[in-house]
Amino acid sequence: MGCMELNNYLSSVKGLPFFYVVGDAEYKSVLEELMSSGFKVMKLSEFCSSNDKFPNIDCLVDKLREIDMDYRDSKVVVIGLGEFLAIKGGIFSFEVLSRLKNTTIGNAKVVLLLRGISAQAIDLIKEDHRMCEQQRAHISSNCSSNLSFTNVTVRGTDLVSQPGVKYLLNEFEDGKCTDIYASTTLLLADSLIPFNLLSSVYDIIKLKIIGLKITAEMGSEQQWQKLYSELSKCEFDLEAVFRGYNIDSSVFDVLYETVSGQEYSNWLVFLYFKQNVGTFSNDYMSEVIKATSRFEDLKFNLLTLIIKHKHTDTDFMKLYSERKKLLKDFPEEDIAIFVKKNEIDFRESIYHLTACWRESAL
């Protein structure tokens, strides 16, 4: 073994466990070295009574005390402990480590391979002079760790193959650091390991699509669920979904049908507008889309947003003309909505109703 402290620990019987503090860089190599030296791996995840129950530390302690009764398993390395303690938080970690450092194990040799809680472990080791004198600990030169995970609490996705904290610990025990998807209902408020929470289908869509300009309130859970199903079939290419419904710039030619319908495809057009708002040549349409956060409000905003502009604004006529082009196929009953809304400011209302005043002035 390349670790002097561990060699000293193995050469004499001290009856207490050895703390081996490592970072991500050394975790796998140290574990492989221990295994090649005859250490049997003991996974903390094995002490979870069910898939979504935290491991039982009491059971772990009992197991460690019984190791020397079986000559075949007299050398054991415990993995998953550091990551579990990191999930539980700093205070809990210190308490458990304090208990384990004084756990008697007879003639057995137990190495606690600790990753993710280097600060807590180092503080404990440094304050225990007896532990240092006995050389029952080794702190790697690089203990840095970038552990993280994503907790998926929404159902109906294929991100998590096996739910439960047990499988999260399995991933850590296998040496994974990032890109881990787990699903647990347990409290993680004190976790030292940063994690993302995906509690809705929209959260997953946002995670998968870089540069998504669409926000959660723009759709219902049912709509997001259907969109997720379609996205999962095309590697989360939103433009591919749009193409599947023939949604492109040609929708401006059938704008009335688009904003008046209540089908899923109509909602998709709204998403197309939101996602591509910076590409429109029609400034009035861009302004409407930016001001609209729900598909249900799109038609009303198309009809009435011009009202907020005064006729003296430098861009009023341009916006007026662009609006007129967009609304060319809208029926009288829809225009009546605008007329009624326009009556609020009688001083400006005539300018919003007709452009004749400008033509006569010229």
**Closest residue by Cα to residue 181 from 204, 152, 147:** 152
Strand order in the sheet with 149-152: 181-182, 149-152, 195-198
More confident residue, 70 or 140: 140
Q: Token digits for 170?
A: 């399995």
pLDDT tens digits for 159-172? Answer: 898 999 999 999 99
> Can you tell me the mean pLDDT for 72-77?
81
pTM of the complete model: 0.80
Distances (CA, A) of 30 to 13, 21, 303: 22, 10, 68
pLDDT at 359: 40
pLDDT at 341: 62
Does the structure show a pLDDT above 80 at 266?
Answer: yes
Residue spans per domain, the chain: 4-139, 245-361
Q: 4-139, which class in CATH?
A: alpha beta
How far is Cα 229 from Cα 218, in angstroms, rounded to an integer?
17
Q: What DSSP element (H or E) covers 109?
A: strand 109-114
> Can you tell me the mean pLDDT for 252-281?
94
> Can you tell me the mean pLDDT for 113-140?
91
pLDDT at 71: 56
The dihedral region occupied by 79, where left means phi > 0, alpha psi between -120 and 50, and beta the remainder, is beta
Q: Which residues lie closer than 8 Å to 34 by C-beta, 6 or more apart?
A: 1, 77, 111, 113
pLDDT at 361: 37
Does the structure show a pLDDT above 50 at 362?
Answer: no
**Closest residue by Cα to residue 298 from 278, 323, 270:** 270
Q: pLDDT exceeding 70 applies to what percent of the chain?
A: 91
How far is Cα 292 from Cα 79, in angstroms, rounded to an integer?
52
